[in-house]
Structure 1
């Protein structure tokens, strides 16, 4: 039932008062929260009026602490002779504090792990909790969650624990200032070389060496961030190195093979090299373990190459996946395959690569992957074609302000915070005005959380993740003394606002058959549009690309 506020005791008069949280954070005074607590306590109108009257004593003040609000609330309940409700409210606050203390206690969280708590042990389907290095990662993860909640702004940590928002990957961030997911700039690394550990790795001279280097890069990148990584246009990326194989075979053919057979010989040998190299890459990725105790979440994109070498790379990827892993021919989990469809290239019968599109469909039918991307639609929506990052999210089109060139590989995401929209709808209880009021508060919390993610990630130093920042994986080669913000700022990196439950929000307001209701449809669009506009506003003010998931 909607709560009606009495005109002479309206909390709207307190909208200019700032509430100071325990950690010093200031937020607006949200009167609806008082209403929700009173409803939870099942307070009558007389009790409500008494509480409102106590709270109105803050009128004219610039700031008020959460402790002062709690004391005024209890005082109002007692003046209304509601001592039992006052005690109930005290118990409610005490339980809230105890829950927070428990969630931020590393020793307690470790005890859950050692007790084989199913939620902790099975929190990630990619991790085998029976393996030593995975167990070590899980141990570090539960401690990091507890410490991370202590590091977060108070209102963000509590909103996460209540389920109002979700701070993703708390087992890694913010304890470590790692990035989330990325598109690795393999092209830059292959051309200029890179260093892993104590070894300097030079430019590959064959496709076999190139794929071997790829697997090493993937393993190290996966250990230096907590999200997935992707390879963009792998068929075109590897083509120059397969061409080196072809040239070597042609040179051998000139010495041993009759002139009319040399081309055939070199092509046959190169095709075998391509198949073996792509098979090795598939096996190596699936047998890798990152420092996080799991197979690196890897995505590779292909399908746009038109040369015979690029076509052979595409066909090899698909045939290897169809064949499956090992003697049992199991479906490989990684790399996640993404095949690009493009009009005039492979979409329709008669297109030059239509046969490979058909092979991709066979593979997708038998082995779940590849996913299919429409080149023309991606370009229309985002401004240019690019592969999604390992976390399956897309970068927006972006041009380097210094060169004016389109850049995709080498860019990254700094993390995600998701808002729980259905909870807002349930708390609003059919009141659209109240929905938007609660929505704005949760958006403010999400913005605070996302700004913290950016600030924390910027505290990393290039030497913390040399392969990312100093040796080209993120597209630039920073010095030890440089700021990592050089690869984040000017909207080069994304930071993401996620949302869940838009459908359920409309169900709450309009019933289960709302899809055919234009008003409900417009309401759903208005929510998504409001979030998008906030992301655009935050980007214009801060210089980081806030994206909406």
Structure 2
């Protein structure tokens, strides 16, 4: 065959003309490496024999090299060996230039890059952190090549969508879970090394809660939450109180000389009559009579003194338990890379004396913070549940505002039994950024079965993962947050859809009025949102089908202990199958603001057309979610994606593809979900009103936050006013950000600019919220989130 007719296909798929010179040069280098020189004639003969072997118009580089090896082996085996070694070395050199090699190099060198900083809760420079990052990147590559259907792999790699937690894809695990701790505590549970009995004190309740967090963390890739922390811990408080009364009474009787009284009989009577840490007169009378019937002489005054001592001891123990709970969750590294548990707790609606004590002492321990200098605890993410008539009322709010200092000091009697705890929660938020606030009376958060007289009403109260994931509605079981979680979620690149829509509209109508182009672009955009939502819905179903094939023994704690409801009925070698049907599948999105700028030149914060278009786009996502609920009978929902690593990935890709578009691709990040641009000047009330309607459309999870300037702890009333606005405007879940800075050298706390005002140190810890949780060092954030944090304006 004429060599001019031969086309070479290179390794990257590109084509080039055949060159005999390149073949003879490669053979010549192999001769030289063997120490054989002046063999030009033989080299040319071998080259010609290689050419004669080529009998097709196109041939790959690797195929030519195979022929060269064969021909060399016929005449010069030693040279052939050198050629093979050279070829292998060249392949290694090429591999060194690939993306995965560069990533590995960055991990080894602990570079400060976005791979190493993809998770602000992980120390990627530690040995275990490096191993986690190595494994993550290699597993993603494996998933792309061998597990993902081609169209979904391409959509992800091209940046149309982002399939979250691809490194965990092969494990078939789910994202998150919300614990039914009451069930776990009453039944007891087991870990790999043994069984745990029902706890008998508040210290044990709190400690076992952290153990459950830590154990299950390794069976999922997301966060863990306790939906009703106050209700679940309340039993522990009562048990500690009853033990304290028994112990003190026993000691008192011994001092009096009544040595024949057995502590077991005392305990039995106390458990029967003291069913509250604030017993009423009937309980006390009943206990006195029961004791007297057992020939134990004690009068009401003596008992009152004993109960007072027991109450004080119980409060102290409860405080220590809450303090230990917080300290443990900030120090127990349950995953590689010094990761502590992504933990969240919801509370605020238990009106029992025991539940209230839990909340009070938890808030105190949060304010006290960690260590000698009272560092703000990053975990658990705390969520205070606002419920009308329970933890909030309009009348109580108006009463408190009239004399806020007196209200904070407990000098005012309120009608809602936990309104005083709401005020204390506001004070804690002003100091420690937590708790956030969940609004149970927002229409889409209500539950028709909720009854204030139901002792287990928490089953019908919405709870959330602190980052924002919401699990509530259920096609396949009880509508509740308990024992359920998210299966997986995937995010669409909303700005790209808007950019493409605008380009298409302008090409289709070159000389049309701008308004007509806008309308056409909007129509194309909404259609593309619908189609992309369908693609994501199918991809989520594909992943769900894969997750179903996991064996129960892959999740020994979560399934065998019935942490994920239904898992307890499975044998270890059973597939999890339909057990997962109660989980949720999230169709996520990012960059609502940027998308609107691409369409209208302005974001939705102050442009009504942009706001309405974004609203309609999320409605389209919900139409698809509803369609797929019916199609597969699964819990599809729309999620306002909590983007950490993703916030910069889409932007980098779109910047390369479309260039710099002002307000769209000209920063290092896309603005999260439906949030108003972090740089946009907007008042607190305007921001809340703008974002609140989107909460009803994003039932897979959402959050609205506002940024305060100055030291919030000096203006707790402002926190309460903001929460009221959120409550009145229909926010589902909200938080309040403000600067919390601490000098590492002297411990000074306050708003610190460049240097500490006390000791002039520049060694400052700057506590900030990233996607729903806190971090104590901005250096652990990736470049996109650091840029976003820098751009955040304060909301006046």
TM-score, normalized by the shorter chain, greater than 0.5 = yes
**Which residue of structure 1 aligns with residue 469 of structure 2?**
393
Can you give the 5+ residue segments of structure 1 that lack an aligned partner in the other structure? 1-100
**Which residue of structure 1 aligns with residue 207 of structure 2?**
212
CA distance in 1, matches of 2:127, 2:154: 33
Q: Does 1:362 align with 2:453?
A: no
- Pairing 1:256-275 to 2, within 5 Å after superposition: 256-257=251-252, 258-275=302-319
Q: Is the 8 A contact 2:461 2:480 kept in 1?
A: no
1:396 CA displacement: 2.5
Q: Is the 8 A contact 1:232 1:302 kept in 2?
A: yes
Tell me which of 133, 136, 153 is aligned to 1:141.
136
1:421 CA displacement: 1.1
**Which residue of structure 2 aligns with residue 122 of structure 1?**
117
**Which residue of structure 2 aligns with residue 486 of structure 1?**
578
**Which residue of structure 1 aligns with residue 374 of structure 2?**
329
**Which residue of structure 1 aligns with residue 187 of structure 2?**
192
CA distance in 2, matches of 1:319, 1:474: 32
Q: Does 1:238 align with 2:238?
A: no
**Which residue of structure 2 aligns with residue 58 of structure 1?**
none
Tell me which of 496, 499, 514 is aligned to 1:423.
496
**Which residue of structure 2 aligns with residue 162 of structure 1?**
158
Aligned to 2:350, the other structure's residue is in SS state: coil
Tell me which of 292, 300, 310 is aligned to 2:355.
310
Can you give the 5+ residue segments of structure 2 that lack an aligned partner in the other structure? 1-94, 253-301, 397-413, 449-459, 506-520, 640-796
Q: 1:439 to 1:344 in 2, by over 3 A?
A: closer
Q: Is the 8 A contact 2:391 2:419 kept in 1?
A: yes
Q: Is the 8 A contact 2:501 2:522 kept in 1?
A: yes
Q: Is the 8 A contact 1:488 1:544 kept in 2?
A: no
Q: Is the 8 A contact 2:346 2:382 kept in 1?
A: yes
CA distance in 2, matches of 1:200, 1:352: 38
CA distance in 2, matches of 1:125, 1:234: 26
Q: Is the 8 A contact 1:183 1:390 kept in 2?
A: no
CA distance in 2, matches of 1:267, 1:103: 68
**Which residue of structure 2 aligns with residue 113 of structure 1?**
107
**Which residue of structure 2 aligns with residue 409 of structure 1?**
482
Q: Is the 8 A contact 2:390 2:418 kept in 1?
A: yes
1:458 CA displacement: 1.3
Q: Is the 8 A contact 1:382 1:397 kept in 2?
A: no
Greater Cα offset, 451-460 or 473-482: 473-482
Q: 1:502 to 1:175 in 2, by over 3 A?
A: same
Deviation string 1:216-254 (CA, Å, 9 cap, x unpaired) is 110111111010000011111111122111111121232
CA distance in 1, matches of 2:527, 2:501: 9
TM-score (normalised: structure 2): 0.53
Q: Is the 8 A contact 1:230 1:298 kept in 2?
A: yes
Q: Does 1:284 align with 2:299?
A: no
TM-score (normalised: structure 1): 0.76
1:474 CA displacement: 1.2
Q: 1:407 to 1:515 in 2, by over 3 A?
A: closer
Q: 1:513 to 1:375 in 2, by over 3 A?
A: closer
**Which residue of structure 1 aligns with residue 148 of structure 2?**
152
Q: Does 1:341 align with 2:337?
A: no
Q: 1:513 to 1:297 in 2, by over 3 A?
A: closer
Q: 1:486 to 1:273 in 2, by over 3 A?
A: farther
**Which residue of structure 1 aligns with residue 65 of structure 2?**
none
CA distance in 2, matches of 1:346, 1:161: 47
**Which residue of structure 2 aligns with residue 502 of structure 1?**
592
1:102 CA displacement: 10
Tell me which of 557, 567, 574 is aligned to 1:467.
557
Q: Which has the higher contact order (CA 8 A, sep 6+)?
A: 1
1:459 CA displacement: 2.1
Question: What number of residue pairs does the alignment pair up?
Answer: 443
Q: 1:306 to 1:514 in 2, by over 3 A?
A: closer
Q: 1:382 to 1:143 in 2, by over 3 A?
A: farther
Q: 1:103 to 1:380 in 2, by over 3 A?
A: farther
1:146 CA displacement: 1.0
Deviation string 1:379-416 (CA, Å, 9 cap, x unpaired) is 64676522113542111333864xxx544211011111
Q: 1:122 to 1:515 in 2, by over 3 A?
A: closer
Q: CA RMSD in A?
A: 2.3
Deviation string 1:119-173 (CA, Å, 9 cap, x unpaired) is 211111111123222222111111111112122121212221221111111232x
